[in-house]
Amino acid sequence: MAADGTLGELLDAALSWSEAGASRVLLTSRQPDCNHPGYPLAGDFSHQSLALQGLREGDAVDWFDSLRRLPPKSRFKRPRRDVLIRLFGKVGFHPLSISLLAQQLKQRGPAEVGERLEALLEEQPLNQADRSLLASLELSLEQLPNQCRDWLPRLGVFQGGCLEGMVCPITSFDEADWQELRNSLLIAGLVQTERVAESDLIFLRFHPTLAPALWQKLGKDEQDKLLESYCQAYHQLSNELYKMDRTNSYTACALAQCELPNLLRAVHAVLQTDKTEVGVEFAIKVNPFLNNIGLRRDWRELAEAAAKAGGTVGSQTWYFSHSNLGEQLRQDSQTAAAAEVFADILAGLEETPSYNRCLTLGRLGRCCRRKANLLKQNDTTGRSWMSWPVWNRTNRYGGRPAQPGQT
């Protein structure tokens, strides 16, 4: 499911899709109750809530066999089917848990794995969400070498994974230590490597439960220290991607798409600090990728956050953040909202001629011309297109706007 801020709109849209003809919509969610009138838990056959169960026994065994064929080679014979089914039953036949258990069964016997798994399950609260998955994760983590377990929590700063080249600068791992930890994580099935399209760079995809569990193992001071280096590193990456986009946009976009969860976390974190200029510049470098990838909501939210944190009215930082917001709105065909932003910029600038003033007048003029053309096409009442409210604000910024068709 989407984040809380967008969930209501998504559910409204899905409800309308399900009512279009004979169509049906299937939603999967970790939360059993959507708290939406169109999705009752009972009493309405138009919406039915079904609890997702684990894999069927045969599918679970097939999934295990496919994982067992992957490297590294197992040190033990394949367990009997009934043994596997009893072991997988302890974790509710959850596919993510089975993927971790499959790696453990390459290193030790099923009796040892089952005994330790039961002990870890007893340590988890009965009402704990993903109880079996967290126990499976702990089972994998405790098999890592002692020094690796000490280093591991620092990876919790990342959002689901990262480019491999980002690990050492942020976590301060020595290269040799990182290689040892990397190999241990790969063997345990906690990390997978993926080559980014059209590049030689490697993206490390973490097991879904890994980073959140690791982050909780860090104290507040260490979290703050890691976040500071994390934000600095991703700010630098945004600069590099922004430059790369001019000469190799396909690769730049592919890299940005892999790292978007980290870039967004970092840029919003910086915008919430007193580093206004850094945050605004960071946002301006990230936002074009959001637009290119089609994440319009994230695109608008970041532009609005940058404008809100834009600094003193009239400052260059304030100008850049609000200009970026206005351009985002104009490109999104929100002409009236964009014109209001540009009019606000003009009101905040000094009235003496300047490059920023000239550029903003040009942007406002494009909004006005587009709106005038739309009014001229759609207005059959004879009402003047000059009645658009923003016209009254533009008069004092440089005369009346050009007539439709004029530049």
Please write the tens of the pLDDT for every residue from 8-24: 888 888 888 888 888 88
**Angular region, 160: left φ>0, alpha ψ -120 to 50, beta rest:** left
pLDDT at position 386, please? 46
Higher pLDDT, 259 or 407: 259
pLDDT at position 399, please? 42
pLDDT at position 43, please? 73
Cβ(182)–Cβ(201) under 8 Å? no
319: DSSP letter: H
* Least confident among 131-140, 347-356, 363-372, 375-384: 375-384
Q: Tell me which amino acid residue 366 is.
A: R
Q: Tell me which amino acid residue 5 is.
A: G
| Residue 26 token pair | 């299937």
* Least confident among 86-90, 112-116, 312-316, 383-387: 383-387
Please write the tens of the pLDDT for every residue from 127-162: 777 888 899 999 999 888 888 888 899 999 999 999
| Residue 348 token pair | 């905040």
Please write the tens of the pLDDT for every residue from 35-87: 888 888 777 778 888 877 889 999 999 999 999 998 889 999 999 999 999 99
- The confidence band for 306, taking pLDDT boundaries of 50, 70 and 90, is confident
